[in-house]
């Protein structure tokens, strides 16, 4: 009776403590902006099972991934043991009672006991390995904190006390039938003198220590970064399902008083929940182009600093108070102080740092590698929106590009009346000349229309289309910038203006598909224009070229001069739109082509440095991203870097030139290489 009473008191006390802590966390979420994440339950459950339960993303780093997965799966297996052990307090006491959740099926109980023993041993081994890894090897991507050792210690204590509890019981002559199915427990029993008088007290000690450690463990989790043990599974359920790279629009901009994010209440509840779910594992920084070129941006710190600021200001958030502190000193950029600690920062922006926010290329490598599906880019764009639309803070180079885009509908400020007319002279008709419509509307894009180097790519693609007899037309002067740079730089109003103007033009004409050579245009037209009722089927030029080659409409010769080629995956073509195979199919179809691959390719591709509007902003801190990428590609021994994005072409070409590799390492678009072989 005393055991049952004591266990009841412990459980109630622990659950009350846990409930009060969780209530506060949930109240903070309720103060944030709404975000619908309850739709498409079937897809969400499938995502949760694949990512959270199967731990598929963990295995990008196989060794540590397996270690973490075995600990997680072990806990799932041991949940039933926890119920069984706690239940013994109500079934006669911890010494003599062997009650189990499988009381109704002794055979199943024996099997579970056997599995449980080996599971606990594996978990104990993995926890030990994790502690040694942090203490000795100290991987650079990890944030090493004392709390990690506390959690690992608590898990180890649970395993050890359970082994000692079973071993002491068996040595005292209890649970003989259970002992036959408990290999580790039976082994531990040999450590004790059989039938010793003090074993009963020892059994009680291990039992109650185990129970207290478990209940304390439960309540420690919400107080540290290990809150992710509780939140990571639901976070994968609430993950973004469609178009992961599409940025949510600001609705009803005309009636908004402020834009973007500078304090926690302007975040959505899901963005705050992402902070709760961050494991600080550092997988997001492993392939981050900014971090890997010695810039102050670390995606994990964007999330962790946001979380810490929210935690620091929970009382103000719940009271509905403004968390801005105008008297707090801002970070001193001249001293390379990029941000302030959460308890000293005057705003959420100061806690994260404005310079790190501007270093992001929106490549989404962080999101690709996050094991709990946290999104980073949407938060960074929201911070930029605040700086650009409200505070008027952005680099002069960026301001020039945005001004040009507003006035001339292209970032370079060149005359929009000349847009595409040179392609008409090559024989590509205008949509205005095709009253009956066409199969393909070719959205040429700003680079293809105005950048001298990328005009050569557009010319090569035009020749291929004409040779293959593709029914295609362009908009010419009616075409405007898709708006991608404006949205990624935070100028949402300008983006929406561009998008709505283009959609109105598109709807005037008849066509089946839109084709574009720019992955940024592809992503914007395909995934973001539907936000404004602009729904079109959009394909990339490498997809169409692959189809034309496969169909024999672009015949290539049987032989040609050997050519060593390495393909650079554009972030917006690959990670944003999962187009990896089409450009490679075209390159493999070229006679003499020796297609090389580098380690950082496909979903692990390394950014060229141009995305997120950064092509219009000089890199003021650290090393140049394009040089780092060119060095990676050059290591393949290739003669040509093949690209499928105008920004990537520019950045890789400039990087090769800056590294004095231009004479032996060319940079060419896939369309140009195909045009050479086809002979157009």
Q: What is the pLDDT of residue 543?
A: 98
Rounded to the nearest 10 degrees, how much is the dihedral formed by the CA atoms of 536, 236, 271, 491? -20
| Residue range 549-608, pLDDT digits in tens | 999 999 998 888 899 999 999 999 999 999 999 999 999 999 999 999 999 999 999 999
197: tokens are 């008088």
Within a domain: 569: yes
- Do 281 and 348 fall within a single domain? yes
- Do 470 and 605 fall within a single domain? no
Domain boundary among 358, 393, 428: 393
- Do 525 and 652 fall within a single domain? no
| Residue range 151-188, pLDDT digits in tens | 999 999 999 999 999 999 999 999 888 899 999 999 99
Within a domain: 116: yes
Please, which residues have CB within 8 angstroms of residue 71's CB and are 6 or more apart in sequence? Answer: 123, 126, 127, 130, 155
Q: In what order do the strands lie in the sheet with 472-474?
A: 472-474, 438-443, 511-516, 538-540
Of 76, 54, 150, 62, give the one whose Cα is nearest residue 120. Answer: 76
Within a domain: 247: no
Q: What is the pLDDT of residue 74?
A: 96
- Do 306 and 419 fall within a single domain? no
- For the chain, give the number of residues: 680
- Do 224 and 309 fall within a single domain? no
Q: Domain with 174 in it: what CATH number?
A: 1.20.950
- Do 212 and 308 fall within a single domain? no
143: tokens are 């944030």
Contact criterion met (CB below 8 Å) for 614 and 402: no
437: tokens are 């419509």
Within a domain: 521: yes
Distance CA 352, CA 386 (A): 14
b/e map of 425-460 (b: 16 or more CB within 10 Å)? eeebebbeebeeebebbbbbbbbbbbbeebbbbbbb
296: tokens are 């102050």
Pairing of strands 511-516, 438-443: parallel
What is the Cβ-side half-sphere exposure of residue 40, based on CA atoms within 13 angstroms? Answer: 13
Q: Domain with 383 in it: what CATH number?
A: 1.10.1060
Of 611, 48, 138, give the one whose Cα is nearest residue 366. Answer: 611
- What is the DSSP secondary structure assignment for residue 605, as one 8-state letter? P
**How far from chain centre, in Å, is Cα 319?**
32
Within a domain: 334: yes
617: tokens are 């902003």
Q: What is the pLDDT of residue 438?
A: 97
- Do 187 and 83 fall within a single domain? yes
Q: What is the pLDDT of residue 579?
A: 98
311: tokens are 């935690």
Helix axes of 228-237 and 41-48: crossing angle, nearest 10 degrees: 140
371 by DSSP, 3-state: which?
Answer: coil
Please, which residues have CB within 8 angstroms of residue 586's CB and are 6 or more apart in sequence? Answer: 542, 545, 546, 549, 670, 673, 674
Complete DSSP assignment for 431-475? GGG-TT-EEEEEE-HHHHHH-HHHHHHHHHHHHHHHHHT--EEE-
Distance CA 477, CA 421 (A): 8
Contact criterion met (CB below 8 Å) for 537 and 664: no
- Do 82 and 155 fall within a single domain? yes
Q: Is the dihedral of CA 491, 497, 501, 503 positive or negative?
A: positive
Distance CA 278, CA 544 (A): 40
- Do 446 and 494 fall within a single domain? yes
Contact criterion met (CB below 8 Å) for 240 and 35: no
- Do 543 and 575 fall within a single domain? no
Domain boundary among 222, 237, 252: 237
Domain count along the chain: 4
Q: Which residues of the chain have pLDDT under 50?
A: none
Q: What is the pLDDT of residue 324?
A: 93
Within a domain: 309: yes
The residue range of the domain holding 435 is 409-547
- Do 145 and 276 fall within a single domain? no
Complete DSSP assignment for 374-424? ---HHHHHHHHHIIIIIS----HHHHHHHHHHHHHSSTT---GGGTTHHHH
Longest dimension (CA), the chain: 101
Within a domain: 250: no
Domain boundary among 489, 520, 547: 547
Rg of the chain over all Cα atoms, to the nearest angstrom: 30
- Do 218 and 267 fall within a single domain? no
Within a domain: 399: no
């Amino acid at each position: 009776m005393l055991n049952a009473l004591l266990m009841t008191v412990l459980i109630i006390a622990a659950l009350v403590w846990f409930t009060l802590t969780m209530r506060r966390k949930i109240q903070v979420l309720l103060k944030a902006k709404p975000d619908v994440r309850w739709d498409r339950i079937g897809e969400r459950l499938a995502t949760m099972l694949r990512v959270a339960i199967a731990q598929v993303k963990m295995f990008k780093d196989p060794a540590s991934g397996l270690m973490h997965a075995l600990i997680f799966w072990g806990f799932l297996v041991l949940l039933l043991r926890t119920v069984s052990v706690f239940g013994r307090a109500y079934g006669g006491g911890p010494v003599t009672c062997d009650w189990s959740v499988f009381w109704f099926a002794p055979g199943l109980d024996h099997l579970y006991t056997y599995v449980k023993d080996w599971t606990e041993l594996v978990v104990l081994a993995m926890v030990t390995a994790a502690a040694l890894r942090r203490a000795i090897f100290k991987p650079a991507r990890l944030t090493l904190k004392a709390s990690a050792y506390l959690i690992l210690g608590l898990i180890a204590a649970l395993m050890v006390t359970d082994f000692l509890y079973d071993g002491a019981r068996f040595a005292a002559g209890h649970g003989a039938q259970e002992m036959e199915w408990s290999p580790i427990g039976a082994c531990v029993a040999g450590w004790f003198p059989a039938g010793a008088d003090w074993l009963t007290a020892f059994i009680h000690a291990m039992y109650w220590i185990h129970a207290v450690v478990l209940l304390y463990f439960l309540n420690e989790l919400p107080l540290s970064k290990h809150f992710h043990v509780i939140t990571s599974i639901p976070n994968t359920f609430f993950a973004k399902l469609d178009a992961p790279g599409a940025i949510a629009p600001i609705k009803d901009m005309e009636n908004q008083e402020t834009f973007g994010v500078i304090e926690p209440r302007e975040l959505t509840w899901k963005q705050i929940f992402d902070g709760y779910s961050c494991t600080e594992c550092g997988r997001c920084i492993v392939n981050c182009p900014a971090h890997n070129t010695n810039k102050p941006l670390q995606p994990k710190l964007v999330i962790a600093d946001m979380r810490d600021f929210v935690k620091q200001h929970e009382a103000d958030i719940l009271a509905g108070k403004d968390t801005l502190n105008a008297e707090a000193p801002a970070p001193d950029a001249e001293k390379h102080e990029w941000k302030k600690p959460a308890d000293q920062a005057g705003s959420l922006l100061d806690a994260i740092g404005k310079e790190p926010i501007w270093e992001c290329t929106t490549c989404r490598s962080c999101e690709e590698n996050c094991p709990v599906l946290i999104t980073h880019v949407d938060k960074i764009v929201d911070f930029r929106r605040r700086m650009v639309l409200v505070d008027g803070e952005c680099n002069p180079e960026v301001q020039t590009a945005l001004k040009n885009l507003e006035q001339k509908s292209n970032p370079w400020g060149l005359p929009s009346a000349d847009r595409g007319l040179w392609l008409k002279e090559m024989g590509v008709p205008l949509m205005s000349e095709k009253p009956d419509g066409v199969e393909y509307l070719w959205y040429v894009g700003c680079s293809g229309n105005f950048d001298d180097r990328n005009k050569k790519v557009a010319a090569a693609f035009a020749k291929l289309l004409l040779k293959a007899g593709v029914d295609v037309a362009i908009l010419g002067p009616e075409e405007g910038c898709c708006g991608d740079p404006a949205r990624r730089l935070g100028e949402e109003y300008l983006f929406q203006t561009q998008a709505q103007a283009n959609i109105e033009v598109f709807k005037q004409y008849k066509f089946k598909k839109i084709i574009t050579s720019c992955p940024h245009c592809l992503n914007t037209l395909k995934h973001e224009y539907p936000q404004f009722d602009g729904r079109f089927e959009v394909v990339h030029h490498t997809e169409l070229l692959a189809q034309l080659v496969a169909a024999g409409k672009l015949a290539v010769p049987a032989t040609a001069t050997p050519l060593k080629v390495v393909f650079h995956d554009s972030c917006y073509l690959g990670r944003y739109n999962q187009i990896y195979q089409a450009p490679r199919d075209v390159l493999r179809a070229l006679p003499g082509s020796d297609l090389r691959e580098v380690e950082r390719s496909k979903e692990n591709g390394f950014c060229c440095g141009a995305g997120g509007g950064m092509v219009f902003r000089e890199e003021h801190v650290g090393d140049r991203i394009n040089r780092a990428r060119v060095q990676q590609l050059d290591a393949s021994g290739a003669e040509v870097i093949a690209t499928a994005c105008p920004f990537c072409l520019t950045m890789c070409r400039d990087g090769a030139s800056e590294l004095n590799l231009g004479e032996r390492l060319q940079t060419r678009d896939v369309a140009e290489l195909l045009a050479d072989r086809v002979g157009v």
